[in-house]
Amino acid sequence: MALSRALRCCQRIFSWIPVIIISSVVLWSYYAYVFELCFVTLTHDLERVVYLSIFHVCFIMFCWTYWKAIFTPPATPSKKFHLSYSDKERYELEERPDVQKQILADIAKKLPIFTRAQSGAIRFCDRCQVIKPDRCHHCSVCETCILKMDHHCPWVNNCVGFSNYKFFLLFLSYSMIYCVFVASTVFQYFLKFWVGDLPNGPAKFHVLFLLFVALMFFVSLMFLFGYHCWLVAKNRSTLEAFSAPVFQNGPDRNGFNVGLNRNLQQVFGEDRKLWFIPVFTSQGDGHYFPLRTLRESENPLLGSEGKWMEDGGSDEESAEGLYHEESNCSDLLMKERLRCKHTLTVISAAYEKHQATCAGMKRRAVLL
């Protein structure tokens, strides 16, 4: 027990190493740019003021978003998704897997859950003893279930999910802006040092190294940011991109794709003035998300419309066909309609099974 605690403590300490590395590089870049470039190398006061002003705006926004991505606690399922004491006891005492699945299914009927496990059963976390909401996954590093989990990022030492996904995206974007500005303003002085127009000194090393570091980070961030922009446009998480969420009708990668505009609003909010500010504006509470299949259940033609979009149609055109700016009440109404439809399907299946049983009994009676 003591050994496991010691290992966990060491793991927590070492998990901060990537954050320390990034912070150290950023602090060094601040010194190299402000002091070695602006105060030592630059000779024109106007140029120095302009460079320092823009640089500090980029630096502040980078630090702000990085701080929010690191220290925003990941959202976890609410209490209503946890098993009650009686349900937990009944579930643990039951040894038959089929009966356990039925117990979870009965509990989940009261919850806004539409996704299933690959086997078709209710998604349940044995470690957290919680019925997983849609898009929720268990993080082995954080040792808890995370709402709309995207991935666990070592560079922020935090789980990226519903509560901080916007901050993570802004962190990537402002990191790229920071690198682009530094590289573009340093490049001309890099050339002057290279050809010998400026005297050798400590500033030469800092300016040369600053350009290489900025370009290196920009290239790596560009691919990562582009990938996450694609995920936001499709309303998918990294986990959902690798493994499609499973609904009652089977896997569907576009199950949460409700059109480009609404996809963006789910992450950044409806007020576009706040999209680029690291304040929480994401829609919802992380437990329920509007479904594309809800609209398709009301109008089967929309199912083929989704296929047209995959074949080349735009997300914005699909958004007009799928959602016409419904309110949250409309989403809840569609959810209830789908639940009623599922109930009717179950009743119909039970009735057909009953008819088949009666027919079998009649055949046996005739044979006798």
Is 9 considered catalytic here? no
Q: Which residues pair with 146 in a beta bridge?
A: 137
Task: Pick the catalytic residue from 128, 139, 153, 159.
Answer: 153
Pairing of strands 130-131, 124-125: antiparallel
How is residue 296 written in tokens? 């398709």
The length of the chain is: 368
Rg (CA), the chain: 27
Q: Which of 244, 249, 245, 246 is nearest to 341 (CA)?
A: 249
DSSP helix/strand/coil, 82: strand
Separation CA 253–CA 241 (nearest Å) = 7
Q: Which of 282, 266, 279, 174 is nearest to 221 (CA)?
A: 174
Using the Cα atoms of residue 154, residue 156, residue 159 and residue 161 in order, give the sign of their dihedral: negative
Q: Which of 144, 225, 139 is nearest to 180 (CA)?
A: 225
| Strand spans (E) along 133-224 | 137-139, 144-146, 151-153, 158-160
Residue 226, phi then psi, degrees to nearest 5:
-60, -40
Q: Which residues pair with 137 in a beta bridge?
A: 146
* CB 106 within 8 Å of CB 98: no
Residues identified as active-site:
153
